[in-house]
Amino acid sequence: MTETLMATGSKSEQAYAAVKARIVDGTYSPGYRLVLAAIAKDLGVSVVPVREAIRRLEAEGLVTFERNVGATVSGIDPTEYLYTMQTLSIVEGAATALSAPLIGPADIARARAVNEDMRECLQHFDPVRFTALNQDFHSILFERCPNPHILDLVHRGWNRLASLRSSTFRFVPGRAHESVDEHEALLRLIEAGAGADTIERAARRHRAATLDAYLAQSNAGSLNAR
Amino acid sequence: MTETLMATGSKSEQAYAAVKARIVDGTYSPGYRLVLAAIAKDLGVSVVPVREAIRRLEAEGLVTFERNVGATVSGIDPTEYLYTMQTLSIVEGAATALSAPLIGPADIARARAVNEDMRECLQHFDPVRFTALNQDFHSILFERCPNPHILDLVHRGWNRLASLRSSTFRFVPGRAHESVDEHEALLRLIEAGAGADTIERAARRHRAATLDAYLAQSNAGSLNAR
DNA sequence: GAATATTGCTTCGTATACGATTTCGTACTC
DNA sequence: GAGTACGAAATCGTATACGAAGCAATATTC
């Protein structure tokens, strides 16, 4: 690949972006063994920048690292999925509540448009597209969160979720309908200037409900104790 | 294999632990310029492991890094403090609520003992000791949280706070009394088997109140909208 | 005298090289 | 035939080396 663009900056950054992209798009599927030398050769750099990239990905939880053994793409161990979703329900709920007062009519309109696309998408259901739109929708709602730390946590959560192949809704297609309706309800709450607590709770339950749907289908009990 | 001698593991680990310790204990105060070569020489290793260590610390937010310039210890910019405390209020509240059902009488007793130490500490007020005990107390309450991701976020939050020189309560000594009382109230809630929502709310407000006390003293408004 | 160009120093960024550790295959013994 | 011990290949961990980028102080020109 000679598509080198200066814009990316350092080799570490390039390596980070490249590996992350391949994890997210599924080129490196969960369990894939990330060999430093191989990646370095593939990217046309030495192993040192690749090491740094891997470490960063480790910090984000996208890969797991074992000393003297190497890195592998983090699995979608159902337990991991559960933990990630639960964590996301909490931080995303908070982020949405914090950003609600800063959401203007234009944002609402955009979000509603996306949600309409989702509703339309229900006809000939495409889980991948639906999941992508779902992320767009929620991004509009939490992106104005004034606390950058919380926002960062939300982004990390979504990233981990994205490293699941294709789509969340592939596993729980039945949730799609309810999800769209809950989105609209959430929008109305924000429009009406509902309290932070109300919005947080609604956002959290929305995500927790998806998790519960997944769990119910897999087998076990529920974490959604609220 | 005798791991006793090599207990520290890799040089990267050592460097990470060493630098982190120095940040936390104040040897490297905020704004301190972290020069790779100097640290490497000081630790008797080369710069490569130090680089990795710095990167990890960057991911945790303890240091800020600028390309081709270097790393500095993250400042206690009041805004940063605010963001960190707010984030911690959310994740710690959640962690405490999740761990509450798993807290046994023994834990309660330990926590209460620590809180009594804190009460006693109020006589000849020592902010450093008080802050340390405060962390011990809360650790007991959230450490049983079954979701490792959330627990990790809580630990990171506390770490960032610890990188503030000495003590939170140095800045808001007036909060110490109320804090001890709120601790006892929290313990009673847990003992009584209160709902997750109630406990989460109490834990969050407890922290948010400390943040508000800090803000009120500094000057500005309040984030504690609940 | 002030603004700008130049030079040199400091520090980071990455490549290459070598030592350390793990893993897997093979041979040997019981 | 099964289990263990040994060894080779693969891969990671770290050191050293050199090139690149930023920064500061000084020289130079208008």
Domain ranges for chain B: 11-73, 78-224
Read off the pLDDT band of B181 (50, 70, 90): very high
Query: Is residue B116 pLDDT above 90, yes or no?
Result: yes
Mean pLDDT in residue range B79-106: 95
Considering only CA atoms, give the Rg of chain B. 19
Average pLDDT of chain A to the nearest whole number? 87
Which amino acid, one-letter code, is at B191?
E
Residue B177: pLDDT over 50 = yes
Averaged confidence pLDDT in chain B: 88
Weakest-pLDDT range from A50-59, A180-189, A206-215, B168-177 = B168-177
Collapsing DSSP to helix, strand or coil, A66 comes out as: strand
Averaged pLDDT, A3-9: 50
Of the pLDDT bands very low, low, confident and very high (cuts 50, 70, 90), residue B5 is very low
| A66 against A1, higher pLDDT | A66
Q: Please report the DSSP string for B49-84 in residue order.
A: HHHHHHHHHHHHTSEEEETTTEEEEPP--HHHHHHH
Please choose, from the candidates B127, B118, B226, the residue with its C-alpha nearest in 3D space to the C-alpha of residue B179.
B118
D strand bases under 7 Å from protein CB: 11-17, 21-23
B65 DSSP β-pair partners: B71
Q: For residue A94, what is the nearest residue in chain B, using CA coordinates?
A: B90
> Using one digit for the tens of pLDDT, what is the confidence trace for A128-184?
899 899 999 999 999 999 999 999 999 999 988 877 655 677 778 889 999 999 999
The answer to whether the A11-73 and A78-224 domains have the same CATH topology is no
Nearest-Cα residue of chain B relative to residue A97: B225
What average pLDDT does this structure show over B17-35?
88
The answer to which of A90-99, B4-13, B96-105, B120-129 has the lowest mean pLDDT is B4-13
CATH 3.90.550.10 fits domain B11-73: no
* Cβ of B132 near strand C (distance < 7 A): no
pLDDT confidence of residue A16: 93
Q: Considering only CB atoms, which chain A residues are within 8 Å of B56?
A: 55, 59
Q: Which of A163, A156, A165 is nearest to A128 (CA)?
A: A165
pLDDT of residue B108 exceeding 60:
yes
CA/C1' separation B28–D11 (Å): 36
Q: Is the pLDDT of residue A2 over 70?
A: no
CATH annotation of B78-224: 1.20.120.530
Residues A1 and A41: their CA atoms lie apart, in Å, by 11
Q: Which two tokens stand for residue A78?
A: 């159902």
User: Is residue A32 within 8 Å of A73, Cβ to Cβ?
Assistant: yes
Q: What pLDDT shows up at residue B219?
A: 60
Q: Greatest CA separation found in chain A? A: 56
Note the pTM of the prediction, 2 decimals. 0.84
